A = this chain, B = another copy of it.
Amino acid sequence: MSVGIRHDDLRRRNRAMVISAVRRAGQPSRTEIAATTGLSHSTISAISSDLIQEGILTESKASETVSLKRGRPQVGLSLNPEAAAVLAVVLSLNFLSVAVIDYAGQVVAEEQRRLDTLTMSRDELIDECVAIVRRRLEDPDLDVRSVARIALAIQGITDSHARAMLWSPITPQTNIAFADILEREFGIPAIMENDCNMMAVALRWRDPDRYRDDFIAILLSHGIGMGLVLKGELFTGTHSSGGEFGHMIHRPGGALCRCGRRGCVEAYAGNYAIWRNARQLSENAEPVADVSDAEMRALAARARQTDGPEREAYRRAGEALGFGLGSLFALIDPAPVAMVGASAAAFDLIEPALREAIAQTAGGQYSGSISFDTEPNELPLIREGCAMRALSFVDQEIFAPGAQGKSSTVRKHVA
């Protein structure tokens, strides 16, 4: 059962709320914060004065343009970029990238590397991640003491405690506790997140009007992934990152999937599946390890040109996605969908069959109202989500801590 509210929780929670209001609004005045949080002006005044003194917020002569109004002008509050920094590490197929982000959310440094993740050993994989983080931390421009959090996103399944990668299509290795490893190595709290979940987090920040409380982000790539936000909360499984939309069953006993099972949505809609069908190979043909973006673009071009096996392959992908979404909508009610990843550029080929399939399912009654948006470039999205995730942690756990963490390293250096 949930625990009672202690007296000191009050301040902590309201501090967190003020910080979060500032992060959302950018440069709100105290009055605006009072309005959005529902707290009184006096309380906001007290809390924000604390936060400014601690170096977490700064005053900035806000909205000079809007000072057409009479009366004392509003003073904008903004996040102090120097209050902390976080690292966002993204590990995907044959690619590793890291970005340093200041407390206000600006990227201050980054580095990218090509790897051969499929053939690397466990230790090589770990070493590369540790090394790229170390290089960033050794950057003389960066105050290492200010780095408060490392967030690592990976394609694949992570555990629900955000500690480890359990399984990933980018490597044959399994169960690597990246978060624990980085934490031990650098003494900085780390979390391990699923890439699609981070896409969803980023979409929420990018377009809060469209992606508010309930929406779905689907990654159309070599595999099929999903990030799901329900009732304003990232939806995760109880043991793992969950939301393995790509491995819902489309046709029992059907096409061979990369996961070794049969009939998964991915076995019809993943790049390898589209490629396999376009070449008219058997459904039992072993999934290929990778199909280049260029090759997929060529497939899509041919599909647009002539009504051949390529077009049929995309049609089947749409059908699988449609029935999958239909089953999903039976469980959670329809919501806006973002199609992310290289194959989202071919969504025109996928959409007709997808809509036709949804119309045959329980979600069909709403099928007109279901809207799709496409975003071909997943990497920036994942990195952005990762950064926001890490920053939210700093907001809540470090700058609005429970009694035990009152004197953290980070706070000291700012004061």
Contact = CB atoms under 8 A, between A and B. Distances in A.
A72 to B, nearest CB: 24
A84 to B, nearest CB: 22
Q: How many copies altogether?
A: 2
A299 interface: no
A270 interface: no
A188 interface: no
B240 A361 contact: no
Interface string A215-238: 000000000000000110000011
A242 B1 contact: no
Interface in A1-23: 1-7, 10, 13-14, 17, 20-21
Contact of A231 (B238, B259, B333): B238
A251 B331 CA distance: 17
Interface stretch (A31-39, A85-93, A107-115): A31-39
Contacts of A264: 362
Most buried by B among A239, A243, A332: A332
Contacts of A43: 4
Given A1-B36, A10-B7, A37-B3, A247 B328 contact: no
Contacts of A1: 17, 20-21, 24, 36-37
A238 B332 contact: yes
Given A237-B332, A332-B237, A14 B20 contact: no
A156 interface: no
A293 interface: no
A326 interface: yes
A248 B331 contact: yes
A262 B273 CA distance: 25
Given A5-B13, A6-B38, A362 B261 contact: yes
Contact of A248 (B2, B242, B327): B327
Contacts of A231: 238
Most buried by B among A240, A262, A330: A330
A173 B58 CA distance: 60
21 contacts: A1-B21, A1-B24, A4-B13, A4-B14, A4-B43, A160-B333, A240-B333, A242-B331, A242-B332, A242-B333, A247-B361, A247-B362, A248-B362, A249-B360, A249-B361, A252-B319, A252-B357, A253-B360, A261-B360, A261-B364, A264-B362
Interface of A: 1-7, 10, 13-14, 17, 20-21, 24, 36-39, 43, 160, 213-214, 230-231, 237-240, 242-245, 247-253, 259, 261-264, 319, 323, 326-328, 330-335, 357, 360-362, 364
Given A3-B37, A247-B330, A259-B362, 20 more contacts: A1-B20, A2-B17, A4-B37, A4-B39, A5-B14, A238-B332, A238-B335, A240-B333, A242-B331, A244-B362, A245-B330, A245-B331, A247-B362, A250-B252, A251-B251, A252-B319, A252-B323, A252-B360, A261-B361, A264-B362
